[in-house]
Each structure stands twice: as C-alpha cells, then as structure tokens.
Amino acid sequence: MRYVYLAKDDLGKFIDLLKEKHRVVAPVKKENLFVFADISGGEDMSLEYIPTIIPPKKYIMPQKESLGKFDMGEVSMKDTSIEMEPTVIFGMHTCDIDGLECLDVVFHKDPADPYYKKRRKNVTIIGYECMFPCDEYATCVTMDTHVPKAGYDIMMTDAGDKYILHVNSKQGDAIIGSGNIFKEADQDAIKKELKDLREKKLPKFKRALNPGYKELQPLFEKSYNNTGVWDDVGRRCVSCGNCTAVCPTCYCFDVYDDVKLDMSGGERGRVWDSCQLNEFAEVAGGENFREERSSRQRHRYYRKFDYPVRKHDKFFCTGCGRCTRTCMAKISLIETVNDLAKGEQDV
C-alpha cells in the first residue's frame, strides 16, 4: 500500500504505541536461543535472531486449548467461545510469515476452524526482513521465503540508521496513522532504496538445496520408493517428534475428553500431535499403517514437498531450518533432500 520511514532511535516509541491497544510479543533471547514472548518495551527484544525454538504460530494455534465443556447426556457443548485480546506479533521473519499463510490455507478452508479464525482475526503481523542468512540450516532461498511477499500488515527492513516500513493492510495503516514517529517520503524513492538494499543482500544468501524451487516437487514424485534414503533416515530417527513440534506448518492435533470424577461431564480440548510418534497412525485393533520410522519420516517430507503442492499448490516447508536444528539424531533436511536428488542423478 505505502512506505514510511522509522528512525531506529524511535523503535521503543513504536513498541509503546503498539502497547496502547495491543498485547505485544516479540523475539526474546533465552540463553543462547530465542523465543517469542511478551515484552514490556523495545529493550526486551532481539530483532537479530535465528528462528525461535517454537514458531509464533503458537499464538494462533496454541499447543493446548480448550474446545468447550460438556454435560453427560447433552448433545451440544457449552463454553465454546474463546477470548483473545488484540495481539501484535512483532519481528516475524518472512519464513514464519509464510508458515502462517500455510496454516491460513488449511484452517480457513471450508469448513473453517472457528478457533483458529477468531485468533487469526485478532493478530497483527509486523515482520522483520532478514538481511543476512540465519545459519547453515536455513533453506529460505530455495523455498523462496527470503524476501517479503505477502501475509503481513507491516514489514520492517533495516536501512542503516532507520527502518523502511511497508504498510500492507488496513490494520497496518491504522497503526501508522495513530503515531507521529513515522516519516512520509517520496514513494518511488523509498521503493528504489528498498530495491537496492535487496540487491545487495541476495548474494549473501546461498542455495543449500541442490534441487531448485521448480525441481522439488517433481523430485518427490519420483522418490517415494528410494528405500536407500528413507531407510537410512529411519534407522537414525528416534521418534521423539521434535521436528514436527517446532515446524511452523505442522497442524496435526489430538482431541481429548477430560471427564470429571463423578462422570457428570467434562472438558474437551485439543493438543498438538505428531506424525512421528508411533501411536499416531495406530487404528482400532492395534493396526499401524506407518509402523516403521522410515515410513513416518518419508510421510513428514512428503507433507512438506509433495502432498500440499497437489492439494493447495503450495510448499509447506518454509526453509526456517528448525527441524534440523532440533533433531536429536542429527537428521538434516538439507542432506536428505540432496541425497534424494543425488539418487535420481545416479539412476
């Protein structure tokens, strides 16, 4: 929609402005890692960070949430509404914004998830563009998530002693219009400055995956029976579920009923689940249609690079690198995909 400048010295004032009407969460350093957490001021956050341990999707799709309460014998549940104060997720990387776009596709598809919709409506996204690669685990270049495109209300780009803010929605425009710390300037001049900044940053981002963006899905179409790669990954996997727990696009959950001791009623809720856990694919009678760890790992990769492309025309891997960083068995997404590509070349 439009561009404005924000002096770096006014970043704290920007946070104060947001906190007048919103809860503000942002990346905060936790030992040698980072998490999204509530902040009281600009001094609490760390904008130069590697992807947080858990993605910011937790504010829209909580790790555990109540769906409502029930009384035995009643057909419908009660207390099914949720309360969420207007929240700003500040400083989201473009890869995590892409992750939310993936979840939007899933949860807004008819029949839409009312709990997700309510939270998503109450969230404002203020992104922060990466000007340097996070680390050796990120694959954002191949996944085309290293440059902002959509999904945010405001995007901030570091421009030396100031930030360039791209105002991309009515929500974002209302925020900018409510403060006097933002400087208007010639739009063409700002666009040119932004273009120059991105041209300088791109050589710093190296492609980690050997297949290019357009080659990824065709590769997976041919690799389902590459038993060498999948068996190797399966032998190393310990089925801890870490990779799916930290993924910004995984959305599987388990529904449970917590019944009162007197059996008069209870509460129904849902909690994140993982396709990497042994019991995930277990059905009545004890049959498990993905009993082998190799088949569960293969399923995880196909849920990122093949199935969603067929269904939603979109990759569900954002290139954030979290799965590789957190894997106890040191299974690398980069190595796995590149091994699949090498296997095709060797055929």
Q: What integer pLDDT is reported at residue 347 of this predicted model?
A: 43
Q: Cα angle at 331 between 326 and 325, to 5 degrees?
A: 25
Does pLDDT of 345 surpass 70?
Answer: no
**Average pLDDT, stretch 205-232?**
95
Three-state DSSP at 54 gives: coil
Given a cut of 70, whether residue 247 has pLDDT beyond it is yes
On average, the pLDDT of the chain sits at: 95
Amino acid at 242: N
Residue for token pair 């399923």: 299
Check: CB of residue 85 under 8 Å from CB of residue 23: yes
Q: Per-residue pLDDT tens for 10-19?
A: 999 999 999 9
Query: If we measure between CA atoms, which residue out of 82, 88, 90 comes closest to residue 118?
Result: 82
Tokens 């009623």 locate to 265
Distance from C-alpha of 176 to C-alpha of 158, rounded to nearest angstrom: 17
Please state, in angstroms and rounded to a whole number, the distance separating the CA atoms of residues 101 and 312. 11
Decide if pLDDT at 344 tops 90: no
7-11, 162-166, 206-210, 333-337: least confidently modelled range: 206-210
Q: Is the pLDDT at 298 greater than 50, yes or no? A: yes
Query: What backbone phi and psi angles, to 5 degrees, belong to 336?
Result: -65, -50
Report yes or no: 50 and 36 within 8 Å, Cβ to Cβ: no
* Strands 154-158, 123-128: pairing kind: parallel
Maximal CA-CA distance, the chain: 69
pLDDT of residue 83: 87
pLDDT at 9: 97
pLDDT per residue as tens digits for the range 109-167: 999 999 999 999 999 999 999 999 999 999 999 999 999 999 999 999 999 999 999 99
pLDDT at 334 over 50: yes
The share of the chain scoring above pLDDT 90, in percent, equals: 95
Rounded distance, CA 84 to CA 118, Å? 8
Over the stretch 6-65, which tens digit does the pLDDT of each residue have?
999 999 999 999 999 999 999 999 999 999 999 999 999 999 999 999 999 999 999 999
> pLDDT at position 228, please?
95
